[in-house]
Amino acid sequence: MKVISFNINGIRARLHQLEALIAKHQPDIIGLQETKVHDEQFPQEAVEAMGYHVIFHGQKGHYGVALLSKKPLENPMLGFPNDGEEAQRRMIMGDYVSDNGERVRVLNGYFPQGESRDHPLKFPAKEKFYADLMTYLQTELKPEQPVIVMGDVNISHQDCDIGIGDDNAKRWLRTGKCSFLPEERAWLNTLLDWGLVDTYRQQHPDVTDQFSWFDYRSRGFDDNRGLRIDLILATEKLAAQCTDSGIDYELRGIEKPSDHAPIWSVFSA
């Protein structure tokens, strides 16, 4: 079972990149974030023509998530159970039954960026999203189940996931800019402590020069200046079946790309 997470940064502008991703990887499941399209305008026919079933949860111009799968997902859910009408559309989930009959609960999220510690709205919204996810895990699922939580988590978990240079990193911390603040890492650690494993870091414990987001304006991709903020997390039972994981720099380098690279993990399940 091959799983891909990709912040596509506008699906209608990146169908060529999605098509290239599918042609290269032929994944079983794709989680897309930042689709930036209202449900009525989602390019469902184009995605289905690529050979995938799709569910989506979006709004005009911002946010938005989708799950693509070779087999239809069961028990789909759009957003968290406690989301109101005004909630930003950032979470989507469903059950994927693998070829060996195992039912995997798949959660795909576009986690808030937060901007900075002193932002009166965005930073609390990021904390709340992590708390809502934790509540869902604790009330609806068990760590013993096969569960995948993937997406643009907007946090670099360890210092080896930071590739923007020491001076920039120190300045971000000093000014309270989001991505690797101590409290953000504590939120992510709460998920890991519940029973989730970072599949990429499990496979590549010593890699320090691979990132998943690169700033457009400063042309960060040209000299590999970025952050690893996109993750595929799996419960321990499933993580034990992970055989490989990677970040696709080739697809980040194509014409008119997203500012994120697709990430992938393979499971023997």
Binding site listing for Mg(2+): 7, 34, 152, 154, 259-260
Between CA 103 and CA 267 the distance in angstroms is 13
Token pair in block for residue 14 = 């990146």
Between CA 108 and CA 76 the distance in angstroms is 11
Q: Which of 28, 132, 152, 198 is catalytic?
A: 152
Q: Which of 63, 96, 110, 200 is catalytic?
A: 110
Between CA 65 and CA 53 the distance in angstroms is 14
Token pair in block for residue 266 = 């393979």
Phi and psi angles of residue 8, each rounded to the nearest 5 degrees, phi first? -85, -15
Rounded alpha-carbon distances, angstroms, from residue 241 to 67, 89, 247: 22, 31, 19
Active-site residue, 152 included: yes
Rounded alpha-carbon distances, angstroms, from residue 76 to 96, 106, 224, 254: 10, 9, 37, 32
Point out which residues pair with 16 in neighbouring strands. none
Active-site residue, 110 included: yes
How far from the centroid of its chain's Cα atoms is residue 266's Cα? 15
What is the β-pairing status of strands 91-97 and 74-78? Answer: antiparallel
Q: Which of 25, 57, 157, 260 is catalytic?
A: 260
Contact of 260 with 32, CB cutoff 8 Å: no
Compute the chain's Rg from CA coordinates.
17
Between CA 22 and CA 46 the distance in angstroms is 13
**Binding-site residue set:** 7, 34, 152, 154, 259-260
Contact of 215 with 226, CB cutoff 8 Å: yes
Catalytic residues: 110, 152, 260
